[in-house]
Structure 1
Amino acid sequence: MEFFDYTIKEELPSRLNGGKTIINTLNPHSFCIAKKDPLFKKSLVSADYLIPDGVGIVLAVKILFGKKIRKVSGSDLHAHILDVANRYSLRVFYLGASENTLLKIKEKVNLSHPNIKVGWFSPPYKNEFDPDDNRLMREKINDFNADVLFVGMTAPKQEKWIYENIQDLHVVFASGIGAVFDFYAGTVKRPSQFWIRMGLEWLPRLFREPKRLWKRNFHSTPEFLFDIVKEKISPISRFN
């Protein structure tokens, strides 16, 4: 598991001559899912970078390793990559979400980052994709000649899709950023900076989507805190 002081602005240009960079995000809920889902765990651990998208991860690193790191949200990651892509006139592809959301993303990117060429595809809403689905998605991405791939299918689906398909993609960079698609498009409002600075971004989201997020906050969070306590008392490197 690798946490880092975010330097993607320098990382991406260095990869333009070959190779692929995968960045995944980690929060307490995804940590708990990964303990029970071997493929998801492999998808996270094999990434080039795993960034702390949650105050729980920041707290865990402080308690277990005595290191102070900062939260880097999927929205932060997306914003940085767009800045780099605009500077180098890259081609950015969005995979996931609805056609309406993707069109709003394209319009917004065109206004704020005019040097970027935007491609997109809205895959069918399924729990699992069949081989024809995966082949079509790979073709859409490669035919667009994408440099950057953002996948918005929510965890763990998006991370596993990248892991299982990356070798057949010609992209330089890939990342699963889930809810960022809707936040950026404006189809779902992200909590204000007040809640973000307080480390309580999850609270307004819970009130807005209780059916979807209750398990994350009332099951995974206590489980994660319990794991921190167990690891502090008797370290056994549960995740590595």
Structure 2
Amino acid sequence: MNRHKLLSITISLGKYHEFVSRIVSIAELRQSAYVCVSNVHMCIEAYYNPIFANIVNSADIITPDGLPLVKSLKWLYGIEQDRVSGPDLMPSLLESASIKKLNVFFYGATEEVLLDLVSFCSYRYPSLNIVGAISPPFRNLTDIEIHEHINNINNVETNILFVALGCPKQEKWMSAMKGKINAVMLGVGGAFPMLVGKEKRAPLWMQKYMLEWFYRLMQDPKRLFKRYFITNTAFIFLIVKEKILIKFR
């Protein structure tokens, strides 16, 4: 897939269905690969951290998750791009995996969320092959634990590994696992609890007007206020700056 740079990351370009098809193709071959689902937070993290930017840009696919990224590609470069968000992409891939008999594995979140997720997916996609789920501890893993997790994932011939560790932890983890885990890894952030209904997603009208961040902020203001205030402000400033630089080039 072609890419285009937006601030610090190179976004993969294409129609929504092309992203799904490409990921499924990689999964069928059990290639070791990873997909970053990029939003404003990831974009700003990468802008101020060159090491993290390299991790993101080394991904096999970088989807434009947030509408601000999609709108920025249009405003700055005239590129018409579909939004490819984690909460949308995950159900599409689960449906494709169910049809194509691909093995899926869930990694991250809490035991409670994983139990609900497996139960939901078993009901929603009765033909889906769920071959495992791991809720890693909220600390640095030992070398033994790391190898156990790798073996658990590989031994059941996983095709698609959904990773929900949060940004930037999940991107760093997937990068470290490339070449070790024989599956396509997708960093889907908070998609697990959203899929099972533990967290509500913003209404479509709020998504349309790029207010999804505000909806999430109202649900968890203590945790998200600083993040959204800093990252959203920085993103707007940098995008306007880039527009001015383009104008005078």
TM-score under structure 2 length normalisation: 0.87
Q: Let me know the Cα RMSD of the aligned residues.
A: 1.8
Q: Which residue of 1 aligns with 2:241?
A: 230
In the alignment, structure 1 residue 51 sits paired with structure 2 residue 63? yes
In the alignment, structure 1 residue 181 sits paired with structure 2 residue 188? no
Provide, for residues 3-60 of structure 1, a one-character-per-residue CA deviation record: whole Å limited to 9, x for no partner: 3222134324533235344221111111111123333212210112211111211121
Q: Which residue of 1 aligns with 2:73?
A: 61
CA–CA distance in structure 2, aligned partners of residues 14 and 218 of structure 1: 38
Cα 1:152–1:18, aligned 2, differ >3 Å: closer, same or farther?
A: closer
Query: Aligned runs of 1:90-109 on 2, under 5 Å?
Result: 90-109=102-121
Q: Percent identity?
A: 32
Q: Which residue of 2 aligns with 1:238?
A: none
Provide, for residues 120-171 of structure 1, a one-character-per-residue CA deviation record: whole Å limited to 9, x for no partner: 0010012x43433322221221122211000001000001100111211111
Unaligned stretches of 5+ in structure 2? Answer: 1-9
**2:153–2:181: 8 Å Cα contact kept in structure 1?**
yes
CA–CA distance in structure 2, aligned partners of residues 136 and 14 of structure 1: 27
Aligned length, in residue pairs: 233
Provide, for residues 85-107 of structure 1, a one-character-per-residue CA deviation record: whole Å limited to 9, x for no partner: 01111110000011111011111
In the alignment, structure 1 residue 195 sits paired with structure 2 residue 209? no
Cα 1:114–1:194, aligned 2, differ >3 Å: closer, same or farther?
A: same
**2:24–2:93: 8 Å Cα contact kept in structure 1?**
no
Q: CA deviation at 1:232?
A: 1.9
**2:30–2:159: 8 Å Cα contact kept in structure 1?**
no
CA–CA distance in structure 2, aligned partners of residues 60 and 81 of structure 1: 26
The secondary structure found in structure 1 opposite 2:83 is coil
CA–CA distance in structure 2, aligned partners of residues 139 and 23 of structure 1: 21
**1:25–1:51: 8 Å Cα contact kept in structure 2?**
yes
The secondary structure found in structure 2 opposite 1:168 is coil
CA–CA distance in structure 2, aligned partners of residues 136 and 17 of structure 1: 23
Unaligned stretches of 5+ in structure 1? Answer: 236-240
